[in-house]
Amino acid sequence: MSKFSTILCCICGTPIPPNPSAQCASCLASQFDLTSILSKPTSGNTELRICRCKRCLRYETSSGRFIPCSVESPELMTLCLNSIPALSKNHGQVSDTQSGVKSLTLIDSSWVWTEPHSKRLKIRITVKATLSLNDVSIQQRCLLTFIEGNKQCDDCNKEFTSRTWSAIVQIRSRRHDSSKRNLTRLELGISTSKEIRRKVINIEISRNGFDFYFGSQSAAQTFTSFVNRLIPVRTKHTQKLVSTDNHSNTANVRHTFICDVVPLERDDLVLLSKQCASGMGVLRGRIGLVIKVGNNVRIIDVACSRVSNVNDSSVELGQESYFRNEKFYKVLLSAGRCSRFVVVDVDVCGGSKEEEEEETDSKKPKLTLADVTVQREGDYCVNDTYLTCVTHLGHILEAGDEVEGYDLTATLADEDFDDHLVKAFEMPDVVLVKKLKSGGASAPAPSVVTDEAATGKKKSRRQRKKDLVKDTKEKNGRGPRGAKTANKFESMLENMGFMGDERERKMREEDDFDDDDEIEGLVDDVDRAMLNDEDEDGDEDEGIEVERGED
């Protein structure tokens, strides 16, 4: 016997427990249409739509991205189900109180074949719905139709539209000679950043630098800050109004960022005027050698005191310090004017090298001042013409080493610097720049035991020639002609700044500033910044008419 009283269904007359609708589950399911609920489009649309790029055939997601999907693929099925408003929450249980549905649960889905030219996508889904009146669950199969619309993606829009950029960053190196070694550091930083290459629309090479085009002002500002932390630059921002829309109160503004790179390069010999040198007491003679160009420029005095420290004889210039007194700096000699010398004697100032090594122990080697006597490469073992100087390369120089430097007795003999130099200053004979090849005690001793001495037989001329070609191939991977080409290629890379010499490797070990580590850290920072600004199109600023920067 039933515990509760029953009523008859108002449609079929079946005895059922009392409920507000007074209908059984079968009659209620036959009168309830889930297709109308699932086919209800979003606001502003009258039907379910899915957008596809006509050129690249990619489909647009709910987040605005375009992804490739093949016809009747699981990826396209997921994209269609996500575009159904009633099932937009991960295809799970979604309530619709206005339609009397307490929850909707997706059970199954499948494709229904359509003609490719019909621009229609049909899927058959099985949905279980729980009604909010009496918690009755009904399950129905619904056929949904999606209309495929055309919408051009951003990538295709960039290719077909000539006016795609809204900001440009112009990087210029204002040097009188053709050397652009400072720009190689920038190229290295750009080549290691994926986000920069993804954000840059186009790159153009100009006479004195590069032009980088961006789609938004925020991306250009992030790139400008990255360049400013990589090399010292002076940035100037200008704007140009392209068009305005009075109805929507918006403006199309193009931004130009002009970045002037510091025209000082490593190994440059720089002359400072009286106005600039007055604030730098470390440069006794107002002539300095550029030993590092990073986020700061480090200049060391060419006539260091024998009792001073290297840090006391050098100064670091930042971006503001240099450009504030830009007209007071003059490049006397660049790396292309260097001559070769042979070290005759090295006398470390303030102690021997053994004492210096004992003090540092396992620490990184530091720059050491030394009194060095050298001879020109052409005068070595020919005459008794010696040149002396105090150099900062005392920690790597030994007697017999080959070095490069500026021969001031020959290059600056006809110049008049009396108005710029201190009266008590004595011009050094030579300024050493870098070490080329070891020829002292640190060089490996040549082998004195030959095949002829071991066997007691003398090789023929043809055999000696074969051995020479074999040794050359093992060393360079090619014959004598390939060895010559390899030497020229290495020399070109060194002039461009890609191959560090022995002095540069030693300085990297002792210096707190490591190019590779810093560039990697800066690249990580700019990648994170550009990812944060990915969805931002920049502020809508009102612009003023400004001419574009000069090359």
DSSP secondary structure letters along 125-176: EEEEEEETTT--EEEEEEEEEEEEEE---HHHHHHH-S---SEEEEEEE--S
Res 193: pLDDT: 78
Res 418: pLDDT: 56
**Closest CA relative to residue 512, chosen from 411, 363, 376:** 363
Res 134: pLDDT: 61
First to last CA, the chain: 99
Res 295: pLDDT: 81
Distances (CA, A) of 120 to 34, 40, 81, 96: 21, 17, 15, 27
CA angle 472, 473, 475 (to 5 degrees): 65
Rounded to an integer, what distance in angstroms lies between the CA atom of residue 109 and that of residue 112?
A: 10
* Helix, strand, coil percentages, rounded to 5, for the chain: 30, 30, 40
pTM of the full structure: 0.55
Distances (CA, A) of 158 to 155, 164, 198: 5, 6, 13
DSSP, collapsed to helix, strand or coil, labels residue 47 as coil
Q: Are strands 49-52 and 137-150 parallel, antiparallel or unpaired?
A: parallel
CA angle 484, 488, 493 (to 5 degrees): 145
CB contact at 8 A, 335 and 268: yes
Rounded to an integer, what distance in angstroms lies between the CA atom of residue 139 and that of residue 91?
A: 15
Res 292: pLDDT: 84
Query: What is the sign of the dihedral through the CA atoms of 260, 266, 272 and 278?
Result: positive
Alpha-helical segments (H) within 257-383: 274-277, 319-324, 353-360
Residues 6+ apart with CB under 8 A from 407: 339, 341, 376, 387, 429, 430
* Tokens at 347, concatenated: 């006398």
Res 521: pLDDT: 63
* Tokens at 353, concatenated: 């090298």
The per-residue pLDDT for range 190-218, each reduced to its tens digit, is 777 777 888 888 889 888 888 999 988 99
The DSSP output letter for 27 is: H
Res 457: pLDDT: 55
**Beta strand residue intervals within 246-338, DSSP E:** 250-261, 269-272, 287-293, 297-301, 314-317, 329-333
Res 259: pLDDT: 92
Res 92: pLDDT: 45
Res 502: pLDDT: 46
pLDDT, averaged in runs of 10, over the chain (551 residues):
74 83 77 78 72 91 90 92 76 52 85 91 89 73 91 81 81 78 78 80 86 91 88 91 80 91 86 66 73 84 71 78 81 84 85 47 62 86 84 85 86 59 72 79 46 53 59 51 59 54 47 51 64 54 40 41
Rounded to an integer, what distance in angstroms lies between the CA atom of residue 101 and that of residue 87?
A: 13
Res 514: pLDDT: 46
CA angle 491, 493, 494 (to 5 degrees): 65
- Residue 236 class from Cβ within 10 Å (0-12 exposed, 13-18 middle, 19+ buried)? exposed
Rounded to an integer, what distance in angstroms lies between the CA atom of residue 102 and that of residue 517?
A: 58
**What is the per-residue burial (b if ≥16 Cβ within 10 Å, else e) of 499-526?**
eebbbbebbbeebeeebeebbeebbeeb
